[in-house]
Amino acid sequence: MMKARKCTVLLGLLAIPFLGLTQLDSIPWSVTVWGQHRSNTLDHEMGRKLVRGGFIDQPMIQAAGETQGGDMGSFGYATGLDLRWKLNRMWRESGARVCGSVQVKSVGDIRWTPELFDLAFTGNAGHLGRWDVLDGSRFRYATWVHAAIGLEGKYQNRLEAGLVLQPAGINARIHNGYFYVDSEVDSLLGYVRAEAAFNQKPAWGIAVNAEWHFLREDAPFAFHLRLQNVGVTFVPSQDQFAVDTMFQTSGLTFAGESWSIEALENGDFGRDLLVSIPAQSAWSLLP
């Protein structure tokens, strides 16, 4: 029943501008739909296979590793729809017009160190006796709807504020981490400090859109500033996880109840490392 109500509210927000457009033909409006992906390491073919599935061969992995070099790797996408409208009539003789927009957006990105890329695709066989640094690796994903209303002035300068509905959101990051296996493969040392958060329920919030255009006939240049979906959301229920630990072995043996072979077989291996925080409310910034 709750899902049906949320869908009704969402459709109502989306329908507000369309109701006005059907009744007032004089309202200027525009619709923009876009989608893009970007990466400084993965080419289009490898990125498509990672998203949709497919066979990734060794030459493709080697080419991606050489492209990344010693820099931080990244892969991300952004897609959405933006409907904008405004009234022709001035608002209270102020020189500004009432305007508004409805935006539907989805973004996601992942960043990794060169060492993490090698560990994920080729393993640590070539890393024996070398420190692997994992600092800064992260993953983010969010989808939201923003319905806003505001004023548009001279030179199409615009300021809007409105409600945000965020059905899904994930944020995970490794703040500090390293991994080391001895060249003789008889000991290892690792440390990781990381956290992750997953929204169990949709989040609500407020956000603003702003545009400022410096356009003067006597000026030899023009300046444009645009801010989109700058705001905060409140998550009624969010799962949070954290890990802050170091592990070290000699002879590749483990000690402790959760480090035994039985724990590995039962799926409880290393459970003491991860701290699970019960679902709770939280505030977060729009990505």
* Residue 50 belongs to some domain of the structure: no
pLDDT of residue 279: 75
217 burial (CB, 10 Å; 0-12 / 13-18 / 19+) is: exposed
Backbone φ and ψ for 130, nearest 5 degrees, come out as -130, 140
pLDDT of residue 204: 95
pLDDT band at 272 (very low <50, low <70, confident <90, very high): low
pLDDT of residue 11: 43
- The number of beta carbons lying within 10 Å of the beta carbon of residue 154 is 9
Whether residue 81 is predicted with pLDDT greater than 90 in this model: the reply is yes
Asked if 161 and 150 touch (Cβ cutoff 8 Å), the reply is yes
* Residue 47 belongs to some domain of the structure: no
**pLDDT tens for each residue of 105-132:** 999 999 999 999 988 888 877 888 889 9
* Residue 61 belongs to some domain of the structure: no
User: Can you state the percent helix, strand and coil of the chain, rounding each to 5?
Assistant: 25, 55, 25
**pLDDT tens for each residue of 227-267:** 989 999 999 999 888 988 887 776 555 555 555 555 555 66
* Residue 162 belongs to some domain of the structure: yes
- Taking Cα atoms as reference points, which of 235, 226, 233, 239 lies closest to residue 278? 239
* Residue 178 belongs to some domain of the structure: yes
Whether residue 94 is predicted with pLDDT greater than 80 in this model: the reply is no
Whether residue 1 is predicted with pLDDT greater than 50 in this model: the reply is no
* Residue 240 belongs to some domain of the structure: yes
Question: In terms of residue numbers, what domain contains 108?
Answer: 2-39+72-285
User: What contacts 126, CB < 8 A, 6 or more positions away?
Assistant: 118
- Tokens for 46, please give them: 């490898």
- Total domain count, the chain: 1
User: What contacts 101, CB < 8 A, 6 or more positions away?
Assistant: 17, 82, 83, 84, 85, 146, 147, 148, 160, 162, 209
Q: How far apart are CA 58 and CA 60, in angstroms?
A: 5
Average pLDDT over the chain, rounded to an integer: 82
pLDDT of residue 106: 95
Q: How far apart are CA 86 and CA 100, in angstroms?
A: 6
* Residue 66 belongs to some domain of the structure: no
**pLDDT tens for each residue of 30-47:** 999 999 888 988 888 887
